[in-house]
Amino acid sequence: MLAAHIGTSVMIEITKPQAESFWSVCSEYLARKTDMVAVKELVSESANPRLTSLPEIYVRLLESMSNKQGMPKSIGNIRRLSTVLSDFSPSDVHERYGLDWAALFDEIKNTIKPKSRMKKSVPQNYWVVFSKGALDSAAFLSKFQSGEHFAETVSQFAKNEILIPAFPKLLEFEIHGLGFALACDFLKESGWPQYAKPDVHTKKILSGVGLADGSDYGTFKAILLIAKHVDETPYTVDKYIWLTGSGNLYHRKQKFKTSRNEFFKFYRKQSTANNGFQATSALARRRA
């Protein structure tokens, strides 16, 4: 296994046998823990249709932007904000507020009257972050003539192995509070199975078996490479790893008992039993 430094990430080269070994163990672990019919339902194309309506794309972007730490609890259901966000028309929102996030903040406070804490003078306040990000998102999306135009643009990046990380990086730069990982979440949950989200479970599990360095970008690239080797979509590989760590079959409102440590024990046991590879990254070796 080879490793190379890209920026602050240690990019780990994953061979086809290594990817297949990991995928086999991950699939077997899930099969022992839960109903695989439910897993297949979660990763099916019908469960994640491509969004081609700008208002729906805007809603999904706001949902992903708010999907961190305690923010979902503070912000609540995005759709309750339709009156202050012009029925989620990006162009109408941009025309109404421009980039005046304080105006949107005040409108939310006076019209929606959230119960969560709203303090305009605190940059880290979730409603401040949301208001800035919501207007940045509207400004960005209003540049597209239609949802189809947006979808065509994303597809140009998604089908190119070299350029695929560029679009979530662009979103990270354009939209306050989004970040690379949440930009990937937005794209994969908007119907682009070529994308995967580096979250706490995917990062911990892939770094724990030595296939990634634990960074957002390194984890993203590792999932794409594994997917390529095992002939699955990055979306599917992402969901399998995420389920291994979370046990959350949210589409059925069910959970099964699992943990990352339990998976690591199973992984080591299966690797030893099969005389397969047990990955140790260059980064891990240096720290040992």
pLDDT, tens only, 32-72: 999 999 999 999 888 889 999 999 999 999 999 999 888 99
Q: What is the pLDDT of residue 5?
A: 46
Residue 265 to residue 197: CA distance in whole angstroms? 24
Residue 59 and residue 178 in one domain: yes
Token pair, residue 47, equals 């469960």
Least confident interval from 22-36, 121-135, 272-286: 272-286
Q: Residues 8-33, buried b or exposed e (16+ Cβ, 10 A)?
A: ebbbbebeeebbbbbbebbbebbeeb
With residues binned 3-state (H G I as helix, E B as strand, rest as coil), the percentages for the chain, rounded to 5, are 60, 5, 35
67 is a domain residue: yes
Residue 114 and residue 214 in one domain: no
Token pair, residue 73, equals 């609890």
Range of the domain at 279: 3-47+199-287
Mean pLDDT score, 271-276: 66
Confidence of residue 282 (pLDDT cuts 50, 70, 90): very low
193 is a domain residue: no
Residue 132 and residue 210 in one domain: no
Residue 119 and residue 177 in one domain: yes
The structural domain count of the chain equals: 2
Q: What does the DSSP assignment read for 36-54?
A: HHHHHHHHSGGGSPPP--H
Other C-beta atoms closer than 10 Å to the C-beta of 50 total 14
85 is a domain residue: yes
pLDDT at 124 over 50: yes
Mean pLDDT score, 274-287: 44
Residue 32 and residue 120 in one domain: no
pLDDT at 2 over 60: no
Least confident interval from 116-120, 257-261, 283-287: 283-287
Residue 71 and residue 145 in one domain: yes
Residue 172 and residue 62 in one domain: yes
Q: What is the pLDDT of residue 69?
A: 85
Residue 65 and residue 127 in one domain: yes
38 is a domain residue: yes
Domain stop point among 156, 188, 220: 188
Residue 71 and residue 143 in one domain: yes
Top-confidence residue, 280 or 242: 242
pLDDT at 200 over 50: yes
65 is a domain residue: yes
Domain stop point among 160, 188, 216: 188
194 is a domain residue: no
Other C-beta atoms closer than 10 Å to the C-beta of 152 total 12
Could you give the C-alpha distances from 62 to 66, 187, 189, 190, 265, in angstroms and in order? 6, 12, 12, 12, 38
pTM: 0.89
Confidence of residue 249 (pLDDT cuts 50, 70, 90): very high
Domain stop point among 188, 222, 242: 188
Q: What is the pLDDT of residue 9?
A: 67
For 218-242, the pLDDT digits (tens) are 999 999 999 999 999 999 999 999 9
For 82-116, the pLDDT digits (tens) are 999 999 999 999 999 999 999 999 999 999 999 99
90 is a domain residue: yes
Residue 128 to residue 176: CA distance in whole angstroms? 10
Confidence of residue 277 (pLDDT cuts 50, 70, 90): very low
Residue 112 and residue 222 in one domain: no
Residue 137 and residue 168 in one domain: yes
For 164-182, the pLDDT digits (tens) are 999 999 999 999 999 999 9
Residue 43 and residue 62 in one domain: no
Average pLDDT of the chain, as a whole number:
91
Q: What does the DSSP assignment read for 110-140?
A: III--SS---TT-TT-HHHHHHHHHHHHHHH
